[in-house]
Amino acid sequence: MTYRSAAKFYDLFGEKNDLGFYKELALQSGKNALELGVGTARVAIHLAKAGIRVVGIDNSDFMLEEARRKLAKESMEVREKVILKTGDLRNFELHKSFSFIYIPASTFDHCITVQDRNRCLTCVYKHLEDNGRFVFDVEQATLEKPLASWWIDRKKINKDEMVVRSIFTRRDFGRHTCSMDLFFDVYKNGKLTERHHEFGEVAMLSKRELTDLLEELGFEIEAIYGDFDKKPYNPDSSKIILVTKKK
């Protein structure tokens, strides 16, 4: 995904019910966390408010700029708990280890190739403290979902302006990827004033593929959930949420 000019609309459409889940696990695991693909710091700020120190890396300066803008509005106590860095989740060296590493919002799906996933998980393993936890969620790609789909939603940003987001997705079950075009159109008093386009491709991963890779790289799988209320995973779950430990 490009995550460029439309970064400013990410939070507008990005509400999710994962905050309590990641906060609970971060608190249980110690108070020293690393978020990969931190984006607008949606989760990182929530954890910092609970007393957790978070380092967040992202390869989009647009998303990091948005995160810094939000962080600047927080109290000194929260601001000093969050460190944001430009970096690639497939290849990073922070010279530090963490008790909790997490990748929310299906960001691991951005690792399109097996090499990407291997490199990312190898870096995670290296940066985890012994017995530290690594937790992430991805979308479950079921065959029942249509090959191509689109949806549109809209949000008001003030009295006169609204943003319309249109998403077009195409699934390729041969390559195990899903490509998508996102358009963000800003209307002022009914007139189109801005259009932002983002394109991206994400992987469609199976539970088996993920657990095999994690175990091969030395992670112990503690739990697999199907949603953030901790319902056990099943083949119809919309998500695959993996809670793992460094052995």
Candidates 99, 107, 140, 169; binder of ligand SAM (CB under 6 A) is 107
Q: Are 98 and 55 in contact (CB under 8 A)?
A: yes
Candidates 59, 97, 122, 237; binder of ligand SAM (CB under 6 A) is 59
Nearest to 167 by CA among 202, 132, 138, 191: 202
Q: Are 13 and 78 in contact (CB under 8 A)?
A: no
Interface with ligand SAM includes 177 (CB under 6 A)?
no
Interface with ligand SAM includes 14 (CB under 6 A)?
yes
Q: Closest distance between ligand SAM and the C-beta of residue 160, in Å?
A: 28
- Which CB sits closer to ligand SAM, 35 or 246? 35
Interface with ligand SAM includes 226 (CB under 6 A)?
no
CA distance 24 to 170: 35
Candidates 9, 29, 42, 205; binder of ligand SAM (CB under 6 A) is 42
CA distance 77 to 201: 38
Backbone angles phi, psi at 124, to 5 degrees: -60, -50
| Sheet of 177-188, strand order | 148-156, 161-172, 177-188, 191-203
Q: How many residues bind ligand SAM (CB under 6 A)?
A: 18
- Which CB sits closer to ligand SAM, 84 or 163? 84
Candidates 34, 89, 204, 214; binder of ligand SAM (CB under 6 A) is 89
